[in-house]
Every structure is written in C-alpha cells, then in structure tokens.
Amino acid sequence: MFISGIGIVFTRGRGVDSFEKALKEGWREPSWTGLIPAYRVSQETLTDASLTKKIRRADKFTRMALFSAFDAYVNSGIITENNERLGIILSTAFGPHSTTFSFIDDMLDYGYANASPTKFSNSVHNAAASYVSSVLGSRGPTVTLAQFSFPFQNALALADIWLNEGRCEHVLCGCVDELNAVMEYACKMKLKTAGDGKIRPFIFSSSPLSVPGEGGAFFMLSKEKCENNYGEVTGISFSGKTNGKPDITVIDSDGMTGDETLYRETADSTVAGYSPLFGSMLIGSAFNFAAASLMLKNQVAYNCPVPDNPSGIKVCGSDFSAGINKINCVRICRSEKTAVIKIIK
C-alpha cells in the first residue's frame, strides 16, 4: 500500500510542513508548566474556524484526531467521488481519558442524573473517529483500535487488509493520544523523567528516560500509487524479522516502554530516532513513520535531534551520502516482541 498523504498535530504545530521544519531544526526544550517536562499541544494549534464550527463541543483528543486526519486527506490531493470507498482507522493507547475522568468526576459530584450527556458521548473511544467520518462525509468503514503494545502497527495491518480485500480504495489511518494532569502524574510515578528534558534514543538503557508528549498523526493510504507519493509499505511484521538490510532503521526508543537494551541489536545499519521532537508516547511509532516517509520522498537523511551515542553506532545525520530506498521502522515492547514496518521509495 502507498502513502499518499500525511497530517500531523504535535507540540510544534500542525501539518506536515511543521513536522518537516522540526526535523530540520532539531531539538527544542519541552514545556515545564505541569508536574513534569512534557511536549504539549497548544490550544492555538487546535483553532481553525473552518473545522471547529463543525465540532464545537468536541474535546482536545477529538480535535487532534480531526485536524491531523483532515490534513492528511487534503495533503494527499485525492478527491473521493464515492466516499463509501474511504475507510477510517483511528488507533490509540489511552483514548479520550480527560473527558472520561471529567465525566466520572461529574457523576461523583452531582450524581448520575446530572452528569453531562455530551461528556459521556465524547468519552467513548470511537467518538473521535465518528467526528472525522462526519466532517469528511465518509460512509465507508470506520473503526477505533485501542492497544498499548503496537497501536499504530495494528492499524496499518488492518488498513492493508481493507485495501487488499477491495473494501476501500483509500484508508485514512492514524493514531492519537493526549496528555493531562492524571497522565502526567502516572508518568511521574511510573517512569523516569529526563531532568534536562532530553530523550536519548541511542543510550539503549534498561531504565531509559522519558519526556511525555501528545498529538495525532494520520496517513492517507492507497492501493494504487497516487501523484503525491511518500513511499510504499511493503511489510508489517510482528516477528522481528527484517528480511534484508535497510538503508536506515528508525527506532521508537523514547523511555515509554521500559527496557530498551534490545534496540541495540537493530543497529546493524544506519540508525535514526526522532522521539526528542515530539515526546514519549505509546503511539510514537506513527510520528517516526512520518519521519521515515519524508526521508524517502525528499531523499534527505534528517539529523537525529539528540545524537548522544555511547555505543558508537552509526547514527543518521547530514553525512549520510547513500540514496535512501528502504527504511525499517522498529518498535520493541517490554514483552520483547518486535514489530517492523518496511517502507520503500
């Protein structure tokens, strides 16, 4: 399946151009306004009168989903004449938990009869995908996946099935997660936070440091190659097998899933990691996938934002001279399972 469009909402703005700019500029210090340093999405990023008038009561989670999905749709340049052939897949680790907690608080404070029905409807995991479907006028299959280990990889695998079965001509596929005070507290208690605000992807530590983030990343995926093509996904493996050496391996190490020592075994080629740009998230694979897609399309090896490299591996940078034809995106979970997404030019 081919990558025809990209839409992103993250700490440094909205849109694929903002993300590409961040890849070129490198690391920036996170926000220190909460319990811990974190990469937060500003409310200013989520204000667009042409979209928000259609989702006036939607929460932050939904807005990040809609803005990134809509931008991927527009970026593709694809006009779907039959929206019954446009599928939508939204994947998340934690869902709209801010709204869920707020609804529970209302029940505790005011009783079941006085809790907000709007908050209840928006607290459902599939609400955000429904908003996306409604705004785009899609009548194709729409589904939300919730998983901790491989949310983006499973969403891609499902999109590939829909396209191969002929169920859809195009699939908007992406991930969204948000950060609120409750999640910040959980991260502070359960994770080791980087005191200087820097995620270091190439330390390969058994107790890595994290800087939580939030955002949304969506991709327009197509069965046939379209005019605006970023690359082709040729395989999604959960066995850890790569079947050939890629030009670049992009790793998801960000301190979010514990022991990262096994990432060292993937360093048999040039290695890249871009989590310091957007933060530690269980959906971080989607953002690294976007970086890999841009590298293939633009034939640019973006400098790693925090290149600390005590192991002396070959880290992606401006001195990369070969053509970029194949990239593997690798995620390793605490259970020692490895997922590999293979992309070619």
Residue-range domains of the chain with CATH: 2-344 (3.40.47.10)
Using alpha carbons, list the distances in angstroms from residue 230 to 72, 249, 289, 294, 344.
12, 17, 11, 7, 9
pLDDT of 335: 64
Evaluate the CA torsion angle 30, 39, 249, 94 in order and state its sign: positive
Residue 312 to residues 263, 271, 308, Cα–Cα distance (Å):
14, 11, 9
- Flag whether the pTM goes above 0.85: yes
In this prediction, residue 337 carries a pLDDT of 87
The reported pLDDT for the residue numbered 118 is 66
* Per-residue confidence (pLDDT) for residue 106, from 0 to 100: 61
Q: Which residues of 24-39 are buried (b: 16+ CB within 10 A; e: fewer)?
A: eeebeebeeebbbbbb
| Mean pLDDT, contiguous 10-residue spans, the chain (345 residues) | 97 97 96 90 89 80 94 90 86 82 64 65 74 88 93 97 94 96 90 93 94 97 93 90 83 92 86 97 97 96 93 82 89 84 95
Question: Measured at the alpha carbon of residue 61, what is the angle toward residues 4 and 128, in degrees to the nearest 5?
Answer: 65
Within 8 A by CB and 6+ apart from 94, the residues are 177, 178, 183, 282
Coil, strand or helix at 19: helix
